[in-house]
Structure 1
């Protein structure tokens, strides 16, 4: 089997050589496919993830300041892993509308007095059901999935961190208002 150095492969990518894409697939796809399959994916998912990683690589190698600081395999694996984890997070956010799982919520959403846990969970479920689905998604993403605000900002299409913080604040205020109304 013929081998090619990472730098030579990158140069071929920059020149648009089709053989470079075949080599990437031949050498690096199997380990990425294995990772995706071991983490709730299938072969089709792995192919999608690998294609996205190749696109990222192609964009990066064409930037003048791009310097590969690891092996090409490590780079593609890391990009692919991030792409797959994002897809998993995104899918959970979408699915969450269909099912409210009481034990999944975190206590940070609102402050509770010292009560038995099942009573706190019951109250929290009740409050969450009374707020908008938009706010349910935001609060679940932030507190259950622990999604970084920057990622949520991008996913929701907010223009800046200030807008994101305002949205979070408004959603927490919805919970607090419902809590206060019941008190």
Structure 2
């Protein structure tokens, strides 16, 4: 599920671009800091773990044949979580009253729900066939609105925009239903 932005950032990191490192820090350090601080750490621990995370990330992306098979956010989080759990085990730092490392802090997932693609495909299955075709053409296949308007036989841009809006509303309604 590698996005284009993630791919560009990875390539910039491979090239040693300092701006890419700064962007990575700005985007992902808060997430790592929250995780570490919620699991017996402090701000200094979070900074240390994030620095180690960056080192591991850089080592991994420099390997020949490296392929980012998840989002960069998930990959960074997994590295940080593993490093923090290792530090807890190595230093035998436990939560008050616990006689072992809290298992949930080392096995908790960033996104415990189904992957977003499962949700989106499920939502698309629950909207009309016509809307499903329109939204897939626009967002999955990146077709220009003018081409889609011609293929669908719409008379003008206003009609095309109106159809897109109606389909997005239909998708939102399905997505918010439980």
In the alignment, which residue of structure 2 is the partner of 1:38?
A: 38
* Residue 64 of structure 1: how far off its partner (Å): 1.2
* Residue 27 of structure 1: how far off its partner (Å): 0.3
- Structure 2: 5+ residue runs without aligned partners? 102-178
Three-state SS of the structure 2 residue aligned to 1:5 is helix
TM-score for both structures, normalised by structure 2: 0.50
Three-state SS of the structure 2 residue aligned to 1:67 is coil
In the alignment, which residue of structure 1 is the partner of 2:65?
A: 65
C-alpha distance in structure 2 between counterparts of 1:89 and 1:11, whole Å: 34
TM-score for both structures, normalised by structure 1: 0.49
Moved over 2 A (4+): none
* Residue 16 of structure 1: how far off its partner (Å): 0.5
More helix by share: 1
Matches within 5 A, 1:47-58: 47-58=47-58
* Residue 65 of structure 1: how far off its partner (Å): 1.3
C-alpha distance in structure 1 between counterparts of 2:65 and 2:48, whole Å: 27
C-alpha distance in structure 2 between counterparts of 1:80 and 1:51, whole Å: 9
- Structure 1: 5+ residue runs without aligned partners? 96-103, 105-143, 146-183
C-alpha distance in structure 2 between counterparts of 1:26 and 1:33, whole Å: 12
Tell me the C-alpha RMSD between the 2 structures: 2.7
Aligned residues: 98
